[in-house]
């Protein structure tokens, strides 16, 4: 067993884990944050994407013990209380999800995309940037639309637009 | 009232989305049970072998291990105790009987959940370890020693019946499940005898792995006090799973088994079927009296989820001199894998050959289908199921035939379209309504086919090859009229049920036997309620996927939830309104016949006396105004809807592709789809279904192909080796609709879930072959295939 302590969604967590435990297993099985999904065993689907120190990572590809002291954000921590994050709202508004299984990873990837590339994302850029995320349901068409709209809605001053709707 | 913005036809944002976008979906593997154990399956590394011995002793002694079971252990329980009988539990079944042309029944085979003496594909289930943690189960599985006596594997579809091949199942000659036919051989032979032209094609419809993003999972539970079983599972049809597990596998009586399919992350057919892991988890839960859970790894999903397609076909189209189709002849060998999966036998037969008339008036058709066993994963329904294979046959044939005759492929199609309805094809189906020309005309315009020559010139100037391909598809959906499918061999009826429970406060719970695993039923079904009862959409809740809540249902597949499931709901809503009229009549002291129901209000005609829907509901429950002998209290109605015909969605997809002849890479530049789904409940959701279907169809055409090597190893068993479509592989899709009402259900709906997957593959291949100028392209048309095809053109002698 190895001791591990980190911040997840703004809360300090700590405990002992089998050193082989992947971050995604720690999140899902120990912390019971099951919004982060596992859809492959070769690090290729992106269903498991979370943010580590603000950057998107595949949580199936890092050990929990490697995240010692890190700041982790999962899909459960993205909304501001009852208020959806603009990217979450954009996925709903543009029907960017069907079964929802790839969705947490898509949204976390998209938020990171905006952080790196800004608020005006063209379709080609978005499609290239989704290289590490698989969706079997949507054919990506509406995911691309969702991300473009979400990126714009995340721009400072874009608040109050219809995208920024309350979660309730 | 709200119906205009949330009723039928509105682009209502999905009610289920909130939990998914906030990470609060509840999929099977998200559920935790106190005291749970983890199952790990030891799978066969060999395609075909006899099991000489399995030594589980070391595994059983390993840390954390609760039990290790093999096929010899899985016996039936003595009903009144925890002891086991000597009798094996039942095997997995195939629920559709096909008869060969000589009248003999198909050759089924035993399909035990855990192999008894022989393994028949890589991934076949050899043993299960149940342990406190998954790691412990995995570690212990490595300690199981199995000695195998290797047998010759059979992996190739086309040669599985050949002399000298091993027998996948001992005693089943030529590995042949059935040799089936449909249509009129003599009439077809005559048509070919008088034909001026015959187009002949031989091709493979490539094997696919469905790969819903959520891998399968199961949690079996047993409550010894109540003698009650619960199975959480990734199912598209939990009631069918319960029926099979009860009646055939014999695990539990139906009333003592609750099957719950919670949020399910996509299915595409692969989660229709009952699988070994579900059987074993339930059985082990009873044996150990603790919950037993299992979740598939992706590699296991590649190895063991039922695959799709895998046909080898020779097809011929006979025409007269002016391009009128006279007849169609098809001979297909369909690979069903090592065992017959739940509905495997129906896919290459009644879901395939019945669609071989396409959108065309073809006087004579004869189809022969041989189904074969091989040492590969079972093959069953995958999005489209038989209909993509049929559409590929028809749409490749008409395209090539037109080219051979020197006719425009569009003109050739239009000349042969069915134009009057109902239209009886020579292969069972009666097309009820459609306007195929309207879809074609609209698609040509949307795709700007008029501008194609100029675009081809520009591509050529840039050293590229540009081609356009058409696919005028038809499918039979709304599966299915029970009497019809019964006469064709189905073991079940394919109606659907719905129950509407109105609560005293006026809000509404709808229980449906349909199951949503991405289709958005929680929204579309609520839209229908909203439209019909005039109630706000947020007062409606859709309940599905739990056999303890929903009485019975056949589930979701075959684009049936709208046409069949919502028709049942429509019928139940009619009954609610009828009862509401009675209640309102009593309360308003008017005769029932004078009560009008409009915009959510029951009104005495010609007066301003009225009762809102919620007030009526309250009156139904307090029942002060009528005595029980003349009107029962309460407000709950159910209905079963059995369709009278299949539905026939149809449309035209146009693919425009550009090839780089230097590298063999291709890029889809435009995709146009014009579909006739009849009436549409939520256009946003329908578009999403079409997008997803097209993506899977393009995947089949350009990227995806499951390959077994001659030793039976699946060499495409991960996302590294099996190319799933990614965002960068696909274009934006331009979608349009034409509408002809479906006459066989009250909503006029036809279904939209499979259209894209059915339409797309021939559109892509027709575009590629148009660009290349010859027909020698196989699916998946990877850059290597295209690169070779380009050389085939410049060096035809070398490649022939
Ligand atoms: S689970 Fe597939 S990339 Fe992490
Ligand atoms: S929405 Fe189902 S996998 Fe993306």
Q: What are phi and psi of A18, to 5 degrees?
A: -55, 130
Instruction: Out of A37, A45, A76, name the one closest to residue B719 (CB).
Output: A45
Question: Which has the closest alpha carbon to A102: A150, A152, A141, A140?
Answer: A140
Chain B residues 93-132 within an 8 A CB cutoff of chain A? none
Mutate to test the pocket of ligand 2, among B213, B692, B719 (most ligand atoms within 8 A of CB): B213
Phi-psi map region of B103: left, alpha, beta (phi>0 left; psi -120 to 50 alpha): left
Give the Cα separation of B393 and B416 in Å (integer): 16
The Cα of B722 is separated from the nearest Cα of chain A by a number of Å equal to: 11
Q: Do residues B185 and B364 make contact, with C-beta atoms less than 8 angstroms apart?
A: no
Q: Do B732 and A28 touch (CB under 8 A)?
A: no
pLDDT in tens, B654-663: 999 999 999 9
Residues B380, B269 contacting (CB under 8 angstroms) = yes
Nearest-5° Cα angle at B717, B764 to B40: 140
Residues with Cβ < 8 Å from A157, sequence gap 6 or more?
none
Neighbours of B225 (CB within 10 A): 5
pLDDT, average across residues B569-574: 95
β-pairing, B601-604 with B610-612?
Answer: antiparallel
Mean pLDDT computed over A30-46: 97
Ligand nearest to the CA of A101: 2
Domains of chain B, earliest start first = 3-25+495-641 (3.30.365.10), 31-74+112-151+213-266+271-304 (3.90.1170.50), 311-480+645-799 (3.30.365.10)
Q: Is the CB of A137 under 6 A from ligand 2?
A: yes
CB nearest to B213's CB, from A28, A47, A84: A47
Residues 29-68, chain A, touching B (beta carbon < 8 A):
32-42, 44-45, 47
What domains, with CATH codes, occur in chain A?
A: 2-76 (3.10.20.30), 86-153 (1.10.150.120)
Separation of CA B214 and ligand 2 centre (Å): 9
Q: What was the pLDDT predicted at B799?
A: 36
Query: Are the beta carbons of B438 and B738 closer than 8 angstroms?
Result: yes
Q: Is it true that the peptide bond before B327 is cis, omega within 30 degrees of 0?
A: no
Q: Are B194 and B292 in contact (CB under 8 A)?
A: no
Instruction: Report CA-CA distances (Å) from B236 to A101, B263, B271, B564, B756.
Output: 15, 10, 5, 15, 20
Which positions in chain B touch A34 (Cβ < 8 Å)? 23, 26-27, 29-30
B489 in the Ramachandran plot: left (φ > 0), alpha (ψ -120 to 50) or beta? left
Identify which of B17, B212, B695 has the shortest CB distance to residue A97: B17
Render pLDDT for B65-98 as a digit per residue (tens, 0 to 9): 999 999 999 999 998 888 999 999 999 999 999 9
DSSP-derived pairing of the beta strands B311-319 and B595-598:
unpaired
Nearest to A113 by CA among A157, A76, A59, A150: A150
Q: How far apart are CA B669 and CA B654, in angstroms?
A: 11
DSSP bridge pairs for A44: none
Would you state the structure tokens that stand for residue B599, as one six-digit string? 């915009």
Question: Residue B296 pLDDT more than 60?
Answer: yes
Burial class (CB in 10 A: 0-12, 13-18, 19+), A155: middle
Q: Average of pLDDT values for B134-144? A: 97
Tell me what pLDDT residue B798 has: 38
Mean pLDDT of B632-650: 93
Question: Which pLDDT score, from 0 to 100, does residue A159 have?
Answer: 61
Distance B298 CA to ligand 1 centre (A): 10
User: Which residues, listed in sequence order, are joined to residue B673 by a DSSP beta bridge?
Assistant: B653, B735
Instruction: Tell me the per-residue pLDDT of B48-69, one tens digit each, with 9 for 90 and over.
Output: 999 999 999 999 999 999 999 9
Distance CA A105, CA A110 (A): 8
Q: Which chain B residue shows the shortest CA-CA distance from A90? A: B21
What is the model's pLDDT at position A164? 40
Q: What is the mean pLDDT of chain B?
A: 95
From ligand 1's centre to the CA of A64, what distance in Å?
Answer: 15
Is the CB of residue A136 below 6 angstroms from any atom belonging to ligand 2?
A: yes
Q: Is A134 close to B695, i.e. CB distance below 8 A?
A: no
B/e letters for B727-760, b = 16+ CB within 10 Å, e = fewer, are bebbbbbebbbbebebebbebbbbbbbbbbbbbb
Q: Residue A163 — very low, low, confident or very high, per pLDDT cuts 50/70/90?
A: very low
Contact check, Cβ <8 Å, B135/A18: yes
Tell me how far the alpha carbon of residue A134 lies from the centroid of ligand 2, in angstroms: 8
Choose the weakest-confidence range: B190-194, B551-555, B713-717: B551-555
Residue position matching structure tokens 């591990």: A4
**Would you call B444 helix, strand, or coil by DSSP?**
helix
Cβ-based neighbours of B454, under 8 Å, separated by 6 or more: none
- Mean pLDDT calculated for residue range A112-124: 98
pLDDT score for B404: 97
CA torsion angle B446 B449 B454 B458 (round to 10): 70
Give B795's pLDDT tier (boundaries 50, 70, 90). Answer: low
- Condensed to tens digits (0 to 9), the pLDDT of residues B424-477 reads 999 999 999 999 999 999 999 999 999 999 999 999 999 999 999 999 999 998
Measuring from atom 3 of ligand 2, which residue has the nearest CA?
A135
Å from CA of A139 to ligand 2 middle: 9
Mean pLDDT of B584-590: 93
Closest CA to B585 of B564, B611, B567: B611
Question: Is B632 in the A-facing interface, judged by CB distances under 8 Å?
Answer: no
Q: Are B716 and B722 in contact (CB under 8 A)?
A: yes
- Chain B residue numbers with beta carbons less than 8 Å from the beta carbon of A97 are 17, 20-21
Task: Using DSSP, state whether A14 is helix, strand or coil.
Answer: strand
Ligand 2, pocket-test mutation among A40, A88, A94, A101, most atoms within 8 A of CB: A101
d(CA A139, CA B552): 32
The alpha carbon of B517 and the centre of ligand 2 are apart by a number of angstroms equal to 10
CB A159: neighbour CB atoms within 10 A?
11
Closest residue by Cα to residue B149 from B42, B41, B46: B46
Contact between B725 and B761 (Cβ < 8 Å): no
DSSP string, B669-704: EEEEEEEE-BS-S-HHHHHHHHHHHHHHHHIIIII-
**Contacts of A36 by beta carbon, 8 Å cutoff, 6+ apart:** A24, A27, A28, A47, A48, A49, A50, A59, A74, A75, A104, A105, B23
- Is B19 in the A-facing interface, judged by CB distances under 8 Å? yes
> Has residue A167 got a pLDDT over 50?
no
Beta bridge partners of B259: B231
Question: How many helices (H) and strands (E) would you count in chain B?
Answer: 20, 30
User: How many CB atoms within 10 Å of residue B631?
Assistant: 17
Q: Is A101 in the pocket of ligand 2 (CB under 6 A)?
A: yes
pLDDT over threshold 50, residue B138: yes
| Residue B362 to residue B536: CA distance in whole angstroms | 49
CA dihedral B61, B62, B67, B69 (to 10 degrees): -90
Which pair of tokens denotes residue B783?
């850059």
pLDDT tens digit string along B666-702?
A: 999 999 999 999 999 999 999 999 999 999 999 999 9
Locate B717 and state its tokens. 């068993």
User: Does A140 sit within 8 Å of B730, measured CB to CB?
Assistant: yes
Question: Nearest 5°: phi and psi at B443?
Answer: -65, -40
Nearest CA in chain B to A108: B21
Report the separation in Å between the CA atom of B296 and the middle of ligand 1, taken as the mean of its atom positions.
Answer: 14
| Chain B residues near residue A123 by CB distance under 8 angstroms | 732
Q: In the structure, which protein residues have their CB atom closer than 6 angstroms to any atom of ligand 1? A: A 38-40, 43-48, 58, 60
Residue A110, pLDDT above cutoff 60: yes
Q: Is the pLDDT of residue A57 over 70?
A: yes
At B794, the pLDDT band (50, 70, 90 cuts) reads low
If you count them, how many residues does chain B have?
Answer: 800
Q: How many CB atoms sit inside 10 A of residue A131's CB? A: 13
* B521 → chain A, closest CA residue: A98
State the nearest Cα–Cα gap between A137 and chain B, in angstroms: 5
Left (φ > 0), alpha (ψ -120 to 50) or beta: where does A46 sit? left
Structure tokens at B538: 């947020």
Q: Pick the residue from chain A with its C-alpha nearest to B14.
A: A92
DSSP helix, strand, coil percent of chain B (3-state; round to 5):
30, 25, 45
Question: In this complex, do B23 and A76 lie within 8 Å of one another by their Cβ atoms?
Answer: yes
Q: Write down the ipTM of this complex.
A: 0.96
Contact B249, B89 (CB under 8 A): yes
The residue count of chain A comes to: 168
Q: What digits encode the pLDDT tens for the residues B689-736?
A: 999 999 999 999 999 999 999 999 999 999 999 999 999 999 999 999
Expressed in angstroms and rounded, the spacing between residue B266 Cα and the centre of ligand 2 is 7
Q: How far apart are CA B782 and CA B771, in angstroms?
A: 15
As a whole number of angstroms, the distance between CA B101 and CA A129 comes to 54
The pLDDT of residue A168 is above 80: no
The answer to whether the beta carbons of residues B566 and B639 sit under 8 Å apart is no
Q: Which two tokens stand for residue B196?
A: 């001026």
HEC-encoded secondary structure of B312-329: EEEEEEEECCCCCEEEEE
C-alpha B658 chain-centroid distance: 31
Confidence grade of residue B563 (pLDDT, cut at 50, 70, 90): confident
Q: Is the CB of B518 under 6 A from ligand 2?
A: yes
Q: Which ligand is nearest to the CA of A48?
A: 1
Stretch 77-136 of chain A: residues touching chain B, C-beta under 8 Å: 78-79, 84, 88-89, 91-93, 95, 97-104, 107, 123, 126-128, 130-131, 133-136
Q: pLDDT class for B562, splitting at 50, 70, 90?
A: confident
Contact B111, B304 (CB under 8 A): no
Residue B46 near residue B150 (C-beta atoms within 8 A): yes
């Amino acid at each position: 067993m190895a001791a591990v302590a980190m911040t997840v969604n703004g809360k300090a967590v700590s405990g002992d884990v089998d050193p082989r435990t992947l971050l995604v297993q720690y999140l899902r099985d120990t912390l019971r944050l099951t919004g982060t999904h596992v859809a492959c065993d070769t690090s290729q689907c992106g269903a498991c994407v979370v943010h580590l120190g603000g950057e998107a990572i595949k949580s199936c590809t890092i050990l929990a013990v490697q995240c010692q002291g890190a700041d982790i954000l999962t899909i459960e921590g993205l909304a501001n209380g009852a208020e959806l994050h603009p990217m979450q709202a954009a996925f709903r508004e543009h029907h960017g999800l069907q079964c929802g299984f790839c969705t947490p990873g898509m949204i976390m990837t998209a938020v990171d995309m905006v952080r790196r590339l800004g608020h005006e994302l063209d379709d080609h850029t978005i499609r290239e940037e989704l290289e590490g995320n698989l969706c079997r349901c949507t054919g990506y068409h509406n995911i691309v639309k969702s991300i473009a709209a979400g990126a714009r809605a995340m721009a400072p001053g874009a608040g109050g637009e219809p995208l920024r709707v309350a979660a309730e | 009232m709200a119906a205009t913005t949330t009723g039928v036809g509105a682009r209502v944002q999905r009610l289920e989305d909130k939990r998914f976008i906030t990470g609060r979906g509840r999929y099977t593997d998200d559920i935790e049970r106190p005291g749970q154990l983890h199952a790990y399956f030891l799978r066969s590394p060999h395609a075909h072998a006899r099991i000489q011995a399995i030594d589980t002793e070391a595994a059983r002694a390993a840390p954390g291990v609760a039990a290790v079971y093999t096929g010899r252990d899985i016996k039936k329980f003595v009903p009144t105790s925890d002891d086991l009988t000597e009798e094996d539990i039942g095997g997995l079944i195939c629920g559709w009987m096909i008869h060969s042309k000589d009248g003999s029944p198909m050759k089924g085979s035993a399909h035990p959940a855990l192999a008894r003496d022989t393994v028949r594909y890589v991934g076949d289930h050899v043993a299960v370890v149940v342990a406190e943690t998954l790691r412990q189960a995995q570690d212990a599985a490595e300690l199981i020693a199995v000695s195998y006596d290797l047998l010759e594997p059979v992996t190739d579809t086309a040669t599985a019946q050949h002399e000298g091949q091993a027998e996948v199942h001992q005693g089943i000659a030529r590995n042949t499940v059935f040799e089936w036919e449909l249509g009129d051989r003599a009439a077809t032979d005559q048509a070919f005898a008088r034909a001026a032209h015959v187009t002949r094609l031989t091709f493979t419809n490539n094997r696919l792995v469905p790969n819903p993003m959520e891998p399968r999972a199961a949690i079996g539970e047993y409550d010894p006090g109540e003698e009650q079983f619960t199975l959480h599972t990734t199912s598209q049809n939990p009631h069918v799973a319960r029926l099979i597990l009860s009646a055939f596998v014999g695990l539990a009586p139906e009333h003592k088994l609750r099957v719950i399919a919670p949020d399910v992350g996509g299915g595409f057919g692969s989660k229709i079927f009952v699988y070994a892991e579900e059987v074993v988890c339930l059985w082990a839960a009873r044996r150990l009296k603790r919950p037993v859970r299992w979740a598939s790894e992706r590699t296991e999903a590649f190895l063991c989820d039922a695959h799709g397609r895998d046909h080898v076909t020779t097809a011929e189209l006979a025409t007269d001199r002016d391009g009128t189709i006279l007849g169609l002849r098809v001979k297909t060998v369909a690979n069903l894998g090592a065992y017959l999966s739940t509905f495997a036998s129906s896919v290459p037969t009644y879901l395939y050959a019945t669609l071989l008339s396409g959108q065309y008036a073809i006087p004579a058709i004869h189809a022969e289908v041989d189904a074969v066993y091989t040492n590969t994963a079972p093959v069953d329904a995958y999005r489209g199921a038989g209909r993509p294979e049929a559409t590929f046959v028809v749409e490749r044939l008409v395209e090539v035939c037109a080219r051979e005759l020197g006719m425009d492929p569009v003109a050739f199609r239009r000349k042969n379209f069915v134009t009057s309805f109902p239209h009886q094809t020579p292969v069972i189906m009666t097309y009820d309504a459609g306007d195929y020309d309207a879809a074609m005309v609209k698609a040509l315009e949307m795709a700007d086919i008029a501008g194609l020559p100029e675009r081809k010139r520009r591509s050529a100037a840039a050293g590229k090859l540009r081609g356009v391909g058409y696919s005028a598809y038809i499918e039979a959906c709304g599966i299915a009229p029970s009497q019809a499918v019964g006469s064709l061999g189905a073991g079940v009826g394919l109606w659907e049920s719905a129950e509407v429970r109105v609560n005293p406060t006026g809000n509404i719970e709808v229980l449906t036997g349909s199951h949503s695993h991405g289709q958005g039923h929680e929204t579309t079904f609520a839209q229908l309620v909203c439209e019909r009862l005039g109630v706000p959409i947020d007062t409606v809740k859709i309940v599905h996927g739990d056999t303890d809540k929903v009485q019975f249902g056949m589930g979701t597949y075959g684009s049936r939830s709208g046409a069949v499931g919502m028709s049942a709901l429509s019928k139940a809503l009619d009954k609610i309104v009828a009862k509401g009229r009675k209640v309102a009549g009593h309360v308003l002291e008017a005769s029932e016949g004078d009560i009008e129901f409009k915009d959510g209000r029951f009104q005495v005609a010609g007066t301003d006396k009225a009762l809102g829907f919620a007030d009526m509901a309250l009156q139904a429950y307090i029942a002060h105004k009528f005595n029980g002998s003349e009107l029962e209290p309460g407000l709950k109605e159910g209905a079963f809807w059995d369709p009278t015909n299949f539905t026939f969605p149809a449309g035209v997809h146009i693919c425009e592709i550009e090839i780089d002849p230097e590298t063999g890479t291709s890029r889809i530049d435009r995709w146009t789809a014009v579909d006739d789904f009849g009436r549409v409940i939520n256009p946003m959701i329908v578009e999403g279904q079409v997008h997803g279907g097209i993506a899977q169809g393009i995947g089949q055409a350009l990227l995806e192909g499951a390959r077994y090597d001659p030793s039976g190893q699946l060499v495409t068993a991960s996302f590294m080796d099996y190319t799933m479509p990614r965002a960068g592989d696909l274009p934006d899709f331009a979608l349009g609709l034409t509408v002809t009402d479906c006459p066989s259900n009250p909503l006029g709906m036809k279904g939209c879930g499979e259209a894209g997957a059915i339409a797309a593959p021939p559109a892509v291949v027709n575009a590629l072959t148009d660009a290349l100028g010859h027909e020698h392209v196989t699916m998946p048309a990877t850059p290597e295939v295209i690169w070779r095809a380009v050389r085939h053109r410049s060096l035809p002698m070398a490649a022939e």
